[in-house]
Amino acid sequence: MDQDRSRLNLEEPRRVTIREVARAAGVSVSTASKALNEQGRMSPETRDRVRQIARDVGFRPNAVARALVGKRSFTLGLITNDTYGRFTLPVAAGLASAMASKGVSVFLCAVDDDPARVRLSIEAMEDKRVDGLVIAGKRIDRAPPLENRRPAMPVVYANAATPPEGVGFVPDDKRGGALAARHLLSLGRRRLAHISGPEDFAAVALRAAGWCQVLRDAGLEPYGKSLHGSWSEAFGYETGLFLRERLGTERYPDAVFCGNDQIARGLIDALQVRQIRVPEDIAVVGYDNWDIFARATRPPLTTIDMALTRLGECAGLTLLDMIAGKAVEPGLRKLPCHLVMRQSCGGEQIGDAT
Amino acid sequence: MDQDRSRLNLEEPRRVTIREVARAAGVSVSTASKALNEQGRMSPETRDRVRQIARDVGFRPNAVARALVGKRSFTLGLITNDTYGRFTLPVAAGLASAMASKGVSVFLCAVDDDPARVRLSIEAMEDKRVDGLVIAGKRIDRAPPLENRRPAMPVVYANAATPPEGVGFVPDDKRGGALAARHLLSLGRRRLAHISGPEDFAAVALRAAGWCQVLRDAGLEPYGKSLHGSWSEAFGYETGLFLRERLGTERYPDAVFCGNDQIARGLIDALQVRQIRVPEDIAVVGYDNWDIFARATRPPLTTIDMALTRLGECAGLTLLDMIAGKAVEPGLRKLPCHLVMRQSCGGEQIGDAT
């Protein structure tokens, strides 16, 4: 059968009709149609058999005709302004993988921050009658510029600002900061400094809040001034070269929690120039678990993983519920982060989630 | 007018009809239709006026109905097995940007290397009647596993293996290797070593061939053994720690051309540990111009840029020609790379293409 199909595919593409599916399954066209549309009553065995046969013979319902009469098209759209892909690619991977197992395809449009591009993409998604839309971003306090345009389909936000009546998924950054602090405290570190990205990012404030709360619960204050700069190795490196001076402290900290992995890597490189040992003298925790950085750092970086792949899965499954007409509460869902231990803090290397 | 539209969009989405466009333009429905479909004779002024009015009032032809009668849908598909996005994201950015200016949207499906996922995605693209398909990859000698399936639409390959009768675009890797060699020769370097990725990559052989040819034309041989390893900082770092031993040479090379930026960065870090100065003692050229690595390297990396954004543009424009029925020669197009000078070779910093 498979051989026949591949031979067939080398010829002019030809669609298998529902009549052929019905004949092969020994049921009426109407029963076959109900089985494939998940409508009407029949035994689960019959439904499964028809669907299996449809798959075997390569049947695909005519999506265009189906869309015209308002049925599902088994496609989702994903619109993102993260053209670099750092955040959206793991989200897209989780989404596409969870959806593929349900026979649903995901179309991604990367739009940068140009409202005209966003409009064009949303219109294209609407024109193509995708069943629903995931709107993804590169930070939790911004979204692609929709300009009051409400897509004519169910929408879920992922790692992006979510409007009050919307459904959204973001990493729990406050918990991420708390995880870093607890880990360092558990290793006996007590002079705990934090350096992070620009202050106007909501994630920066949340990570710092989670971090500070755990410190205060332990009777400690953050060690030295809090330092903010770009999300870059360069900022980490410059800070590392003059760490005490920048923090305004007499002694070095014994641990630094960095707002992302690039800052952490720059910091560690600079500490090595200053002959300060990581993790013996200073333990370092990163954030993101971006593995091309986290693994290449010497020593490899212990860091917080935002579980963006899982976030993409959750966004997709919730969107399917909305498309199916199930009641979904509006609001923001914060998904747990987790700590990935490598070697930049010492302690036992208990595993690597990636 | 714009205010009215945004107010309208807050209400239930409502489609503007072609009748309203015709009325606003003071032409018949038939003339409006011809103007918007680029068919039929009329003055360019009339056509432009109708199209401008259609844009102003937010008219969009019903894509589903249009697809049913075989007209263009003004969408392209992009299927890639580069789930990391390193290669496909710049290609996608160039493609989407060139297409946006023509009112064409691009839907991306990332498929990894699972044939079932590839099939699902191609079927979804066909079902949605996209006008054409770009198939993109992460190396020039592989493509997503289509398994003899010929998509029912025009196809262009981008940075992927192209079948003999297909149309494809790849970076000119041989020229990239030659550019690196010419640059180092022009700076007076004469002991020129090359370390690169795994030998089974076609790009590795092509870069080495271009490199060697320029050296031989200058009466030189490659300095030391050619070394191959993974595309990682770790390989560059280990090689750098024992560079003479690995190359099998008595003296250090005075220049190293690395197969990608990650190898180059690892090499430079190791040379610093050995107190070898870059670029004074050894000049280093990378490959890729992956800016998060190339800019963060100390000193910032001189490297070869494969112009993948331009490659995406070219692939899209050629695909539009094929969709429009123009004659397009099958075959592989090799697009020029260029050198981006930063500071890892010395010489004058003449600019930065990124």
- pLDDT single digits (tens) B68-123: 445 678 899 999 999 878 898 899 999 999 998 888 999 999 888 889 889 889 98
Distance, CA of B322 to CA of A141 (rounded, Å): 42
Peptide bond preceding B299 in cis form (omega within 30 of 0): yes
In the numeric block, the tokens 């149609």 are attached to A33
Q: Can you give the pLDDT at residue B57?
A: 78
Chain A: give the shortest CA distance to residue B112, in Å. Answer: 9
- Determine contact: A62 vs chain B, CB below 8 A: yes
Closest chain B residue to A11, measured at CA: B150
What integer pLDDT is reported at residue B183 of this predicted model?
Answer: 98
Going from the C-alpha of A273 to that of each of A56, A259, A269, B269, the distances in angstroms are 63, 21, 7, 11
Please say whether the beta carbons of B117 and A106 come within 8 A.
no
Residue located via tokens 């390297």: B297
- Which residue is listed with tokens 């308002």? A70
Judging contacts by C-beta atoms under 8 Å, the chain B residues touching residue A90 are: none
- For the packed helices A44-56 and A29-37, what is the interaxial angle rounded to 10 degrees? 90
List C-alpha distances in Å: B217 to B182, B191, B211, B346.
10, 15, 10, 23
3-class SS at A182?
helix
In the DSSP assignment, the letter for residue B110 is E
Contact across the interface for A68 and B73, Cβ inside 8 Å: no
- pLDDT, one tens digit per residue, over A191-234 is 999 999 999 999 999 999 999 999 999 999 999 999 999 999 99
pLDDT at B354: 36
Q: Are strands B338-340 and B302-305 parallel, antiparallel or unpaired?
A: antiparallel
Q: Do B57 and B33 touch, CB atoms closer than 8 A?
A: no
Segment (H or E) for A309: helix A308-323
Residue A313 carries which side chain, given as an amino acid letter? Answer: E
R_g of chain A computed on alpha carbons: 25
User: What would the two tokens of residue A246 be?
Assistant: 């920048």
pLDDT at B254: 98
CB-neighbour burial class of residue A38 (10 A; exposed 0-12, middle 13-18, buried 19+): exposed
* Residues of chain A with C-beta less than 8 angstroms from the C-beta of B127: 60, 62-64, 73, 75
Residue pairs between chains A and B whose CB atoms are closer than 8 Å: 140
Q: Are B242 and B308 in contact (CB under 8 A)?
A: no
- Nearest chain B CA: its distance from A253 CA (Å): 25
A253 exposure class (CB count in 10 Å sphere: 0-12, 13-18, 19+): buried
Query: What's the mean pLDDT in A108-113?
Result: 88
Structure token digits, residue A232: 């870059």
Q: B214 pLDDT band (50/70/90 cuts)?
A: very high
Q: How many Å apart are CA B208 and CA B174, to the nearest integer?
A: 7
Which residues in A lie closer than 8 A to residue B65 (C-beta atoms)?
Answer: 68
Q: pLDDT at position A10, please? A: 33
CA distance A195 to A208: 9
Q: State whether residue A230 sits within 8 Å of chain B by CB.
A: no
Q: What would the mean pLDDT of B171-198 be, rounded to a whole number?
A: 98
The pLDDT, as a whole number, for residue A71 is: 66
B123-167 confidence digits (pLDDT tens): 889 888 899 999 999 999 999 988 878 888 999 999 999 999 999
Residue A9 has pLDDT above 50, yes or no: no
What is the predicted pLDDT for the residue at B293?
93
User: What is the bridge-based pairing of β-strands B302-305 and B331-335?
Assistant: unpaired
Instruction: Report the range of poorest mean pLDDT among A32-41, B3-12, B270-279.
Output: B3-12
Query: A154-158, A262-266, B128-132, B157-161: lowest mean pLDDT where?
Result: B128-132
Q: What is the pLDDT of residue B38?
A: 65
Range with lowest mean pLDDT among A59-68, A137-146, A335-344: A59-68
Average pLDDT, chain B: 88
Query: What's the whole-number average pLDDT of chain A?
Result: 88
A41-84 tens-digit pLDDT:
677 788 888 888 888 877 766 554 444 445 678 899 999 999 87
For an interface test with A, which of B268, B269, B292 has the most A Cβ atoms less than 10 Å from its Cβ?
B292
Residues of B in contact with A6 (CB under 8 A): 147-149
Q: Within a 10 A sphere around the Cβ of A177, how many other Cβ atoms?
A: 31
Q: What residues contact A216, with CB distance under 8 A and at least 6 apart?
A: none
pLDDT surpasses 80 at B53: yes
Look at residue B26 in the predicted model and tell me its pLDDT: 84
Position A106 confidence tier, pLDDT thresholds 50, 70, 90? very high
Q: What is the pLDDT of residues B95-108, one digit of tens each?
A: 999 998 888 999 99
Banded model confidence at residue A40, pLDDT cuts 50, 70, 90: low
What ipTM goes with this model? 0.79
As a whole number of angstroms, the distance between CA A259 and CA A304 comes to: 10
CB of A3 less than 8 A from some CB of B: no
CB A169 within 8 A of CB A310: no
- Smallest Cβ–Cβ distance between A108 and the set B100, B108, B269 belongs to B108
Amino acid at A197: G
How close is the nearest chain A Cα to the Cα of B225, in Å?
25
Task: Average the pLDDT over B40-45 and give the result.
Answer: 74
Neighbour-count burial for A113-128, b at 16+ CB within 10 Å, e otherwise: eeeebbbbbbbbbbbb
Q: Give chain B's domains with CATH numbers.
A: 75-172+308-336 (3.40.50.2300), 173-306 (3.40.50.2300)
Q: Do A64 and B68 touch (CB under 8 A)?
A: yes
Does A279 sit behind a cis peptide bond, omega within 30 degrees of 0 on the bond before it?
A: yes
| pLDDT for res B135 | 96
